């Protein structure tokens, strides 16, 4: 079968291309913007890429057009497909019907941490010999590819997928994750995001509730017990066992660690909430700063690895609980995470020049920015952090999060913001940071100011969910040449 993918260079659609190629299909695709790592991955697999959406691509005569959500009405190729009544399908629906229909799907949903948690979970299952398939919105360094089919051998019926809440396609405005029908679902966290398609947090909670409705009664939901938004989604109806993670411990004798919340309605079983009258005391899966993991107060082992921050410990806790549901003992999961190498563009060191370290990170939401900077601060102590930000996501471009930006950048010593093509004034938004914040519309000017400010021992943290104009290599080259005047 020949499929032609519109929007092939997005991380999700590129993953679908890889899976289709591995399944023996002929795969071609097109996109308007092509940049690594996805373009490199596709070319390495022999997938033909076409620049742009010219209607002449109809002449490829594929059996099916697979449509990414980057494509909208008015796209010339899409209009020709519609005019000729040619067969087309969304990426998530193609994936569900072609790949996932007979698999034990483990879906990882949440505003933050989906990619890292999915990568951790896939690696735990791989380490345990379960040979999982996966589709992840990044390139896990343990695998070197963002997507693969499960092994046809015994134990290869598992599939880990990053379950995104963004909409499916211009003709299907449901969240992608409702197509996946996971048997094991992680609800990692839930904040307002995607201001271009969701009016408010409640609208996203509704989509998460739709996901909850698709998990079978024999499945498992692994849920962040700290998130009231997720509790609200569950309270709207849940028919599946729920295991909470990250919840505070049971009350100590002096009552200093008490915490209570209402039970979700209609849950068949909630592991981690111990009923006390109409209320429930939270316990469940926990991990402390030293990496010690407990379940309902019982020690399970210790997480030993090099990753930074509480957010990564929480991601690991969710992955361990989900892997346990498919039969991987916690001790084996912890052993796997000792060898976990993270995902490209997650605090990835791109180079060190003159004792100045340049990092690449995908953070683009204020919460993720705050967490990323906090993790680096914990690692480097009092050394200077130069935070470099490209507000590139649709939510950031619309300015929905601009008031939260100064707070998320507070732990950086200097802040540099690329302000081109924003619908709001970055200089005004960052004014609470005073003289330590710089915003520039020209990338070369911004790079010059970063290099002029950098000193030996500094850590330059670049944060964007796009290519950012190749800023990492440009910074390293300029730093090697010496400061610009």
Cis peptide bond prior to 375, omega within 30° of 0: no
Q: What pLDDT is recorded for position 255? A: 44
Give the whole-angstrom CA distance, residue 416 versus residue 318. Answer: 34
Domain final residue pick, 309, 338, 367: 338
Q: Is residue 108 part of a domain?
A: yes
Domain final residue pick, 91, 116, 144: 91
The more confidently predicted of residues 145 and 194 is: 145
* 3-class secondary structure per residue, 52-109: CCCHHHHHHCCCEEEECCCCCCCCHHHHHHHHCCCCEEEHHHHHHHHHHCCCEEEEEE
CA gyration radius for the chain?
23
Q: Is the pLDDT of residue 221 over 70?
A: yes
Whether residues 413 and 433 share a domain: the answer is yes
For the chain, how many residues are written? 485
Whether residues 379 and 334 share a domain: the answer is no
The mean pLDDT of 108-137, rounded to a whole number, is 94
Whether residues 209 and 256 share a domain: the answer is yes
Q: How far is CA 252 from CA 246, 249, 259, 297, in A?
A: 17, 8, 11, 12
Q: Is residue 446 part of a domain?
A: yes
The mean pLDDT of 171-194, rounded to a whole number, is 90
β-strands 298-302, 64-67 pairing: unpaired
Give the whole-angstrom CA distance, residue 208 versus residue 234. Answer: 9
Q: Is residue 161 part of a domain?
A: yes
Whether residues 369 and 387 share a domain: the answer is yes
Confidence of residue 403 (pLDDT cuts 50, 70, 90): confident
Q: Is residue 409 part of a domain?
A: yes
Confidence of residue 194 (pLDDT cuts 50, 70, 90): low
Whether residues 283 and 316 share a domain: the answer is yes
Q: What pLDDT is recorded for position 37? A: 62
Q: Is residue 166 part of a domain?
A: yes
β-strands 184-187, 220-224 pairing: parallel
The structure tokens listed for 164 are 């995104």
Which class for 171: exposed (0-12), middle (13-18), buried (19 or more C-beta within 10 A)?
A: middle
Whether residues 40 and 170 share a domain: the answer is no
SS3 388: strand
DSSP state letter for 248: P
Q: Is residue 97 part of a domain?
A: no
Q: Taking the model in full, what pTM does it have?
A: 0.77
Count CB neighbours of 39 within 10 A.
18
Q: Is the pLDDT of residue 248 over 60?
A: no
The more confidently predicted of residues 151 and 156 is: 151
Domain final residue pick, 33, 60, 91: 91
Q: Is the pLDDT of residue 468 over 60?
A: yes
Q: Would you say 324 and 333 are in contact if contact means Cβ atoms under 8 Å apart?
A: yes
Structural domain count, the chain: 3
Q: Would you say 280 and 264 are in contact if contact means Cβ atoms under 8 Å apart?
A: no
- Averaged pLDDT of the chain: 86
Q: For 250-283, how does the pLDDT look when each residue is reduced to its tens digit (9 = 90+)?
A: 343 444 433 334 444 444 445 554 333 334 444 6
Whether residues 73 and 118 share a domain: the answer is no
Q: What pLDDT is recorded for position 251? A: 40
Whether residues 115 and 204 share a domain: the answer is yes
Q: What pLDDT is recorded for position 270? A: 54
SS3 326: coil
Q: Is the pLDDT of residue 413 over 50?
A: yes
Q: How far is CA 415 from CA 317, 383, 478, in A?
A: 32, 15, 18
Q: What pLDDT is recorded for position 111? A: 85
What CATH number did the domain enclosing 213 receive?
3.40.1190.10
DSSP state letter for 306: S
Whether residues 368 and 405 share a domain: the answer is yes
Q: What pLDDT is recorded for position 162? A: 95
Q: Which of 36-40, 43-47, 91-95 has the lowest mean pLDDT?
A: 36-40
Count CB neighbours of 415 within 10 A.
21
Q: Is the pLDDT of residue 234 over 60?
A: yes
Confidence of residue 149 (pLDDT cuts 50, 70, 90): very high
Whether residues 306 and 355 share a domain: the answer is no
Q: Is residue 287 part of a domain?
A: yes
Whether residues 286 and 253 share a domain: the answer is yes
Q: For 281-311, how does the pLDDT look when each residue is reduced to its tens digit (9 = 90+)?
A: 446 899 988 899 999 889 999 999 888 778 8
Confidence of residue 469 (pLDDT cuts 50, 70, 90): confident
Q: Is the pLDDT of residue 241 over 80?
A: yes
Q: What pLDDT is recorded for position 26? A: 96
Q: Is the pLDDT of residue 227 over 90?
A: no
For residue 65, what are the domain limits?
2-91
What CATH number did the domain enclosing 413 receive?
3.90.190.20
What CATH number did the domain enclosing 12 receive?
3.40.50.720
Which class for 296: exposed (0-12), middle (13-18), buried (19 or more C-beta within 10 A)?
A: middle
Nearest to 45 by CA among 159, 156, 160, 145: 145
Q: Would you say 66 and 5 are in contact if contact means Cβ atoms under 8 Å apart?
A: yes
Whether residues 452 and 415 share a domain: the answer is yes
Q: Is residue 87 part of a domain?
A: yes
The structure tokens listed for 66 are 């697979």
Give the whole-angstrom CA distance, residue 180 versus residue 303. Answer: 30
The more confidently predicted of residues 426 and 19 is: 19
The more confidently predicted of residues 274 and 475 is: 475
Q: For 128-139, how does the pLDDT look when each residue is reduced to its tens digit (9 = 90+)?
A: 999 999 999 888
The structure tokens listed for 88 are 């087309």
């Amino acid at each position: 079968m020949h499929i032609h993918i519109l929007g092939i260079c997005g991380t999700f659609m590129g993953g679908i291309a890889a899976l289709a190629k591995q399944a023996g299909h002929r795969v071609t695709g097109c996109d308007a913007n092509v940049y690594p790592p996805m373009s490199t991955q596709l070319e390495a697999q022999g997938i033909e890429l076409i620049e742009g959406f010219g209607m002449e691509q109809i002449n490829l005569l594929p059996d099916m057009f697979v449509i990414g959500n980057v494509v909208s009405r008015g796209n010339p190729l899409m209009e020709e497909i519609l005019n000729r009544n040619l067969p087309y399908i969304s990426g998530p629906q193609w994936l569900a019907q072609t790949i996932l229909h007979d698999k034990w799907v483990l879906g990882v949903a949440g505003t933050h941490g989906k990619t890292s948690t999915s990568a951790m979970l896939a690696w735990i299952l791989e380490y345990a010999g379960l040979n999982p398939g996966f589709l992840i919105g990044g390139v896990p360094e343990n695998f070197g590819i963002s997507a693969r089919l499960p092994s046809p051998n015994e134990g290869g019926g598992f599939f880990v997928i990053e379950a995104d809440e963004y909409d499916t396609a211009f003709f299907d405005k449901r969240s992608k994750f409702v197509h996946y029908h996971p048997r094991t679902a992680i609800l990692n966290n839930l904040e307002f995001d995607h201001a271009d398609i969701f009016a408010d947090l409640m609208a996203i909670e509704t989509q998460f509730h739709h996901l909850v409705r698709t998990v079978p009664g024999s499945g498992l939901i692994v849920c962040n017990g700290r998130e009231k938004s997720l509790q609200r989604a569950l309270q709207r109806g849940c028919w599946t066992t729920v295991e909470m993670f990250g919840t505070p411990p049971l009350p100590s004798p002096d009552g200093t660690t008490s915490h209570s919340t209402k039970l979700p309605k209609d849950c068949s079983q909630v592991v981690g909430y111990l009923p006390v009258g109409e209320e429930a005391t939270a316990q469940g899966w926990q991990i402390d700063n030293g990496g010690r993991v407990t379940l309902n107060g019982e020690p399970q082992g210790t997480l030993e690895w090099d990753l930074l921050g509480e957010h990564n410990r929480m991601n690991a806790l969710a992955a361990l609980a989900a892997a346990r549901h498919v039969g991987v003992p916690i001790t084996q999961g912890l052993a796997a995470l000792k060898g976990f190498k993270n995902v490209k563009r997650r605090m990835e060191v791109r180079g060190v020049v003159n004792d100045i370290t340049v990092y690449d990170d995908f953070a683009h939401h204020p919460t993720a920015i705050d967490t990323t900077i906090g993790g680096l601060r914990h690692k480097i102590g009092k050394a200077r952090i130069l935070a470099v930000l490209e507000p590139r996501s649709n939510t950031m471009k619309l300015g929905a999060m601009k008031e939260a930006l100064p707070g998320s950048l507070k732990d950086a010593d200097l802040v540099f913001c690329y302000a081109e093509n924003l619908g709001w004034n970055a200089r005004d938004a960052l004014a609470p940071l005073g003289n330590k914040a710089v915003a520039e519309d020209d990338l070369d000017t911004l790079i010059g100011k970063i290099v002029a400010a950098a000193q030996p021992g500094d850590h330059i943290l670049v944060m964007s969910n796009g290519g950012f104009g190749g800023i990492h290599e440009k910074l390293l080259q300029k730093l090697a040449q010496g400061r610009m005047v």
